[in-house]
Amino acid sequence: MAVAAPPEWATKEPCMMGIDEAGRGPVLDSKTLKEEQREELFESLKANSSIGWEVDVICPKELSAKMLKRSKVNLNEISHNSAMGLVKKLLDMGVLLAEVYIDTVGDPEKYRVKLTEKFPGIKFVVAKKADSLYPVVSGASIVAKVTRDRALRNWVFDETALNMHMNTGSGYPGVGELAHPSSRMQLKESDELDEDATGNGSAKRQVKLSSLGFTGFKRKSEEIESSGKGRCKFFQARKLELVRKF
């Protein structure tokens, strides 16, 4: 698919970018704006010829596949890769990107260093609640949330037999961007995930068998599963159990 060329001014004048994401929460909720207000603001942004935007949508299946494969990729890293992918896309398009403001996912300083090493020469500002601090991120947040809202509005649940009529989270980060002669935005807004809590690959510790209840004799796999001692802490903390019959 051909990528649309940026406006001429975006290749000659320094641009600013904002990044925020939406879609990880189990229940859709916006503490500041209602869906109708976000739609109105989004249309205003689209009508401004000096602003550009783009979204990166990651589907739930892709998230699950990356998090459950043998060489796991946690949500923070997935989010970081998505943001970096959008930054790279703008640079490849010839946009003169000078500054990028991001609502942090994980530790702000570690994230900033990671971005700076990847894209030297660009000023990165990574902060908590950046959508409340920087207008460029606020605009990106609007684009991300509207993209999510519209996707869910036409979402068809597989669990139709359960007659599920509820406000459910989208389960994927949506990323977008906006541009101005000196303001370029991109979005990504979500509940913060502490990198230490989610566990980076290098920080993960292997669990000893003794801590899972093994004392030198074998148990049947079914007994282990039913006791919960063989399950990952992620599932234990959320009281999730293996279901064999529906």
% of the chain with per-residue pLDDT over 90: 35
Question: What pLDDT is recorded for position 150?
Answer: 86
Here the CATH number for the domain that contains residue 111 is: 3.30.420.10
Residue 164 tokens read as 């599920």
Mean residue pLDDT of the chain comes to 74
Question: How far is the CA of 243 from the CAs of 63, 222, 225, in angstroms?
Answer: 22, 12, 10
Of 42, 49, 19, nearest to 143 by C-alpha is 42
Please check whether residue 64 lies inside any domain of the structure: yes
Interacting residues of 109 by C-beta distance below 8 A, sequence separation 6+: 126
**What are the start-end ranges of the H helices in 134-194?**
135-153
Spacing of C-alpha 212 from chain mean position: 32
Q: pLDDT class for 23, splitting at 50, 70, 90?
A: low
> 242 or 197: which carries more pLDDT confidence?
242
% of the chain with per-residue pLDDT over 70: 58
What's the mean pLDDT in 179-198?
A: 41
Domain count, the chain: 1
What's the mean pLDDT in 58-78?
A: 89
Question: What pLDDT is recorded for position 211?
Answer: 43
Please check whether residue 73 lies inside any domain of the structure: yes
Of 128, 120, 81, nearest to 102 by C-alpha is 128
Question: What pLDDT is recorded for position 60?
Answer: 81
Sheet hosting strand 56-57, strand order edge to edge? 21-22, 174-175, 56-57
DSSP calls for 28-79: ---SS--HHHHHHHHHHHHH-TT-----EE--HHHHHHHHHSSS---HHHHH
Please check whether residue 164 lies inside any domain of the structure: no
Please check whether residue 52 lies inside any domain of the structure: yes
Query: Coil, strand, or helix at residue 100?
Result: strand
Q: What is the pTM of this model?
A: 0.64
Question: What pLDDT is recorded for position 154?
Answer: 76
Please check whether residue 71 lies inside any domain of the structure: yes
Please check whether residue 224 lies inside any domain of the structure: no
Please check whether residue 223 lies inside any domain of the structure: no
Specify whether the backbone of 174 is left (phi greater than 0), alpha (psi in -120 to 50) or beta: beta
Query: Coil, strand, or helix at residue 150?
Result: helix
Q: Which domain holds residue 113?
A: 8-23+33-153
Question: What pLDDT is recorded for position 22?
Answer: 85
Please check whether residue 180 lies inside any domain of the structure: no
